[in-house]
Amino acid sequence: LVARMRPFGTTIFAEMSALAVRTGAVNLGQGFPDTDGPPEMLAAAAEALRGGHNQYPPGPGIPALRAAVAAHQQRFQNLTYDPDGEIVITAGATEAVAASILALCEPGDEVVCFEPYYDSYAASIALAGAVRRPVTLRPTADGRYAFDPAALRAAFGPRTRLVLLNSPHNPTGKVFTPAELAMVADLCQEFDAYAVTDEVYEHLVFTDAASPHVSLATLPGMRERTLRISSAGKTFSCTGWKVGWASGPAALVSAVVRVKQFLTYVNAAPLQPAVAVALALPDDYYTGFRDGLQQQRDQLVDGLTDAGFDVLGSEGTYFVTADITALGGRDGVEFCRSLPERCGVVAVPTQVFYDDIDAGRRLVRFAFCKRPEVLTEAVTRLRTLR
Ligand code: PMP
Ligand code: GLN
């Protein structure tokens, strides 16, 4: 194995899901829903499978899906992208992120990101021979997560090529505020950096969040330097489909297409028309899905609090984080490895998403994208920790 990949072992998600299967624990580790997405979407996929949509689709994705992605971004973010040239369909957001970094970074270029970061970011940056410059998000007294503006500025320099921004943020559940986004936007322009935004949780922002989800590309001067990434997995409860997209100015998108050609060439022919159907669903679908998830969040937050965790706020995503100190926990990895045995629940230690491990040592992440009865069982088990 090449040196640049040696630091990357089995992903924590695979490790923890395997642990859940082995121990029969309730799996609140890896973030995937346990119910299916909208029936209209599933029917469209079945129809496409039977209807002969089983060969290579066009390189940038089928026209109907690119048009649907464009209409969706217009509807929810008032962003205009030309489906012919400014949008590419990818094998999930994961491929879009990887292809963007590989397309834009020379070896030695620096990528500013916020830690804890989604695990594929570090690997994609390493594959490009680039260097990550993490800015640490830390719990605040009021139970949110924030960064030090001076640390953000200090992360930028002459080698900064791009900022990789995930909001709503996995694993913290943080939604970046307009003021925080403005700081990022100003620095991108001052240092002439690109932005790659991972917005896969764009529709999973709860009604009590400090601000709604705002795409960085909507800020002045940002559309022209931003690749905006999202995917169907979270919004439509189909994480196994791996249908994502990147949108941006034609020059940036064509760079991503150039790389994507040789990563996967194309993907998911029969699923693309189905995702186009899903994206066009009325607003009720999106708000209804969000409301259901918010109730699940509340259920899990109450249960974790009862069980003795110090629970941090979750404004969006599938996830909530909690500090384990009050339960006698000193290290999240040890805590999560022993949790199935202690009470039959699996969680994920968030320290594995930090370079500064101490900053996340006592934090663990729980997924609440599970049916209420599953959460009830998990909470019953967690209460035995007290
Ligand atoms: N980015 C973030 C922040 C995620 O949490 C995930 C999901 N699991 C992804 C990207 C990957 O998305 P996809 O499955 O569409 O590749
Ligand atoms: N995004 C999901 C999570 O954070 C899982 C992704 C994966 O398994 N690679 O849990």
Mean pLDDT of 130-154: 97
DSSP symbol at 129? T
Q: Is 150 exposed, middle or buried (0-12, 13-18, 19+ CB in 10 A)?
A: exposed
Cis peptide before 107 (omega within 30 of 0): no
CB of residue 30 inside a 6 A radius of ligand 2: yes
The verdict on the CB of residue 242 being under 6 Å from ligand 1 is yes
261 Cα to the center of ligand 2, angstroms: 24
ipTM value, please give it. Answer: 0.97
Distance CA 386, CA 364 (A): 17
pLDDT of amino acid 283? 98
DSSP secondary structure letters along 269-327: TTHHHHHHHHHTS-HHHHHHHHHHHHHHHHHHHHHHHHTT-EEPP--BSSEEEEE-GGG
User: Which pLDDT belongs to residue 300?
Assistant: 98
Partners of 164 in the β-ladder: 113, 196
Answer yes or no: is pLDDT of 179 > 90. Answer: yes
* Distance, CA of 230 to CA of 259 (rounded, Å): 18
Ligand nearest to the CA of 124: 1
Does pLDDT of 253 surpass 90? yes
Residue to substitute in 30, 172, 352 for testing ligand 2 pocket (most ligand atoms within 8 angstroms of CB): 30
Comparing CA positions, the residue from 232, 201, 216 lying closest to residue 294 is: 201
Is the CB of 17 within 6 Å of ligand 2?
A: no
Cβ of residue 31 lying under 6 Å from some atom of ligand 2: yes
Which pLDDT band, with edges at 50, 70 and 90, does 386 fall under?
confident
How many Å lie between the centroid of ligand 1 and the Cα of residue 200? 6
pTM, whole model, 2 decimals?
0.98
* Ligand 2 near 11 CB (within 6 A): yes
Question: What are 58-81's pLDDT values in tens digits?
Answer: 999 999 999 999 999 999 999 999
pLDDT tens for each residue of 17-48: 999 999 999 999 999 999 999 999 999 999 99
The pLDDT > 70 percentage for the chain reads: 100
Domains of the chain: 3-37+284-383 (3.90.1150.10), 39-279 (3.40.640.10)
Counting from 1 in the atom list of ligand 2, the atom nearest the Cα of 118 is 4
The pLDDT score that the predictor gives to residue 264 is: 98
Q: Give yes or no for residue 23 CB within 6 A of ligand 2.
A: no
* DSSP for residue 147: -
**Cα 178 to the center of its chain, rounded Å:** 19
Q: How far apart are alpha carbons 209 and 175 in whole angstroms?
A: 7
